[in-house]
């Protein structure tokens, strides 16, 4: 019997499909960001394409560089606006309009359970938090725009049963990092990672976004959270169901079945140069840092900001550390302001940047220099990700990043909170 991913792709293809089939699905949403839309437009021009298929389903977000800090950035933004107008893209979210494109389509009810999104950037897997399947096509998004579809192989699914509960001082980001550190890359390779199980009821949509975001770094094709009461409660009032939610059948043919025990997780830090190089925080505690960052499509949600602000309240960032905080969307920024979180960050000496990708988008703002050490909640830590290639980049959850920014060195957040490790 079919998996949820097979059901979603069957609907998008208009016929029953199964893992391994080569298909041409028609997506409900096509997404691009501000940097790539200009390249896509240039490619369309080279091929003489003057109209795209189903332009009303195309969403472009100015999130990688919402604040133009150079003449080149000003030009890119102008070109993105021109392309959006010329090709009549139905959803163009310019500067100050919503924020990060891997998040606000869920937040605004543009996507919901059972829907299919395809696009350029790998982190559209976030859409799986509400049971929508996000499949990245990278440069072939140009073909997708021109033809309305692009070939893809129906992926197999790996089912992950989530159990237990997070201990105090441990975040879902720690669990996500531990999962990819322990998983076999060959098992996850090009598969949809489907999270289900009793502990999912304890994880809100923010936490699920983090879980969906991470497996792609180990080679997964996408990720899904099984729709449940949490999904329904979140979407109520913001999403009108357009398609039927998809759930894997009890006897579905999974590539593998794995377990994730939240109770066994402790704070994690991913050491350079890959996100899956995660170790318990104690193994790197004491490493001096110069730079810290809370944000990105992996961990810039309201829950993350609440956790960080709770630790920073009444404290100051170490004098030699600069801490940047980036809310994922305008709505998250507004909610953080209402709750007084932005005041806490300002009082602690942090810098709050415009909603979007923030420093994670290549370090165009607030980046790192030669020989510097950074710890942040970004998606990746490969050399040059945040600026200079000779900087050392560590990844962690928002509590660990906040604690480290205060201490001036990588620090176990349980110690900063006065809790036993």
> What pLDDT does 363 receive?
81
> What pLDDT does 417 receive?
78
Residue 240 reports pLDDT greater than 90: no
Residue 322 reports pLDDT greater than 80: yes
Residues of the chain with pLDDT > 90, as a percent, come to: 94
Which residues lie closer than 8 Å to 56 by C-beta, 6 or more apart? 90
The predicted model gives 310-334 an average pLDDT of 98
Beta-ladder partners of 119 = 31, 136
pLDDT band at 178 (very low <50, low <70, confident <90, very high): very high
Considering only 64-78, 154-168, 345-359, which range has the smallest mean pLDDT?
64-78
- Name the token pair of 49: 């394409």
- What is the residue-averaged pLDDT of the chain? 96
**How does pLDDT run across 73-114, given as a tens digit for each residue?**
899 999 999 999 999 999 999 999 999 999 999 999 999 999
Residue 405 reports pLDDT greater than 70: yes
Q: Are strands 157-163 and 192-196 parallel, antiparallel or unpaired?
A: parallel
> What pLDDT does 421 receive?
65
Contact 324, 351 (CB under 8 A): yes
> What pLDDT does 54 receive?
97
CA distance linking residue 383 with residue 392, whole number of Å: 7
- Assess whether the previous peptide bond of 273 is cis (omega < 30° from 0): yes
- Name the token pair of 198: 């009793």
**How does pLDDT run across 105-152, given as a tens digit for each residue?**
999 999 999 999 999 999 999 999 999 999 999 999 999 999 999 999
| DSSP code string of 252-292 | ---SEEEEEEGGG---EEEPTT-TT-EEEGGGTTT-B-SEE
3-class state of residue 376 by DSSP = strand
Contact 86, 104 (CB under 8 A): no
Query: Each residue of 380-403: b (16+ CB within 10 Å) or e?
Result: bbeeebbbeeebbbbbbbbbbbbb
The predicted model gives 227-240 an average pLDDT of 95
For the entire predicted model, the pTM comes to: 0.96
Contact 222, 116 (CB under 8 A): no
CA distance linking residue 5 with residue 226, whole number of Å: 11
**Residues 99, 102, 103, 106, Cα dihedral to 10°:** 120
Burial class (CB in 10 A: 0-12, 13-18, 19+), 53: middle
Which domains can be identified in the chain, with CATH numbers?
4-262 (3.30.499.10), 270-416 (3.30.499.10)
Residue 215 reports pLDDT greater than 80: yes
Element (H, E) at 71: helix 71-86
CA distance linking residue 369 with residue 46, whole number of Å: 38
- Kindly tell me the sign of the dihedral angle through the C-alpha atoms of 389, 395, 400, 401: positive
> What pLDDT does 364 receive?
85
**Three-class SS of 151-197:** CEECCCEEEEEEECCCCCCCCHHHHHHHHHHHCCHHHHCCCEEEEEC
> What pLDDT does 182 receive?
97
Residues of the chain with pLDDT > 70, as a percent, come to: 100
**How does pLDDT run across 257-283, given as a tens digit for each residue?**
999 999 999 999 999 999 999 999 999
Residue 411 reports pLDDT greater than 70: yes
Residue 399 reports pLDDT greater than 70: yes
**How does pLDDT run across 278-295, given as a tens digit for each residue?**
999 999 999 999 999 999
Which residues lie closer than 8 Å to 43 by C-beta, 6 or more apart? 142
Residue 70 reports pLDDT greater than 80: yes
> What pLDDT does 347 receive?
98
> What pLDDT does 420 receive?
65
Contact 267, 375 (CB under 8 A): no
> What pLDDT does 320 receive?
98
Identify the CA nearest to 294 among candidates 238, 350, 250, 337. Answer: 350
pLDDT band at 58 (very low <50, low <70, confident <90, very high): very high
CA distance linking residue 275 with residue 163, whole number of Å: 23
């Amino acid at each position: 019997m079919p998996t949820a991913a097979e059901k979603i792709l069957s609907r998008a293809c208009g016929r029953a499909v199964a893992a391994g089939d080569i298909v041409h699905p028609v997506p409900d949403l096509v997404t691009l960001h501000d940097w790539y839309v200009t390249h896509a437009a240039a490619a369309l021009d080279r091929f003489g394409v003057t109209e795209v298929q189903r332009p009303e389903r195309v969403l472009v977000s100015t999130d990688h560089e919402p604040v133009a800090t150079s003449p080149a950035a000003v030009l890119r933004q102008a070109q993105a606006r021109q392309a959006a107008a010329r090709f009549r893209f139905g959803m163009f979210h310019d500067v100050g309009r919503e924020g990060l494109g891997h998040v606000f389509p869920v937040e605004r009810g543009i996507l919901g359970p059972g829907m299919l999104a395809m696009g350029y950037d790998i982190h559209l897997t976030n859409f799986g938090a509400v049971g929508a399947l996000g499949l990245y096509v990278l440069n072939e998004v140009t073909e997708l725009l021109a033809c309305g579809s692009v070939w893809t192989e129906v992926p197999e699914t790996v089912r992950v049963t989530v159990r237990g509960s997070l201990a105090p001082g441990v975040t879902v980001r720690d669990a996500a990092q531990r999962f990819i550190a322990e998983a076999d890359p060959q098992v996850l390779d090009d598969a949809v990672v489907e999270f289900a199980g009793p502990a999912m009821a304890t994880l809100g949509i923010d936490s699920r976004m983090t879980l969906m975001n991470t497996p792609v770094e180990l080679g997964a094709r996408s990720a899904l959270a099984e729709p449940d009461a949490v999904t329904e409660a979140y979407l109520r009032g913001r999403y009108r169901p357009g398609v039927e939610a998809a759930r894997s059948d009890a006897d579905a043919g999974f590539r593998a079945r794995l377990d994730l025990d939240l109770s066994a997780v402790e704070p994690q830090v991913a050491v350079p140069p890959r996100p899956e190089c995660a170790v318990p925080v104690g193994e790197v505690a004491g490493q001096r840092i110069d730079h810290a960052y809370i944000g990105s499509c992996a961990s810039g949600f309201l829950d993350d900001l609440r956790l960080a602000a709770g630790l920073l309240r009444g404290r100051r960032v170490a004098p030699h550390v600069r801490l940047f905080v980036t809310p994922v969307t305008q709505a998250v920024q507004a909610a953080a302001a209402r709750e007084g979180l932005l005041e806490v960050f300002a009082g602690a000496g942090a810098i709050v940047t415009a909603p979007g990708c923030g420093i994670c988008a290549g370090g165009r703002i607030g980046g790192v220099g030669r020989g510097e050490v950074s710890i942040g909640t970004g998606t990746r830590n490969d050399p040059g990700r945040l600026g200079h290639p000779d900087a050392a980049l560590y990844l962690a959850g928002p509590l660990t990043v906040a604690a480290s920014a205060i201490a001036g060195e990588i620090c176990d957040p349980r110690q900063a909170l006065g809790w036993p490790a």
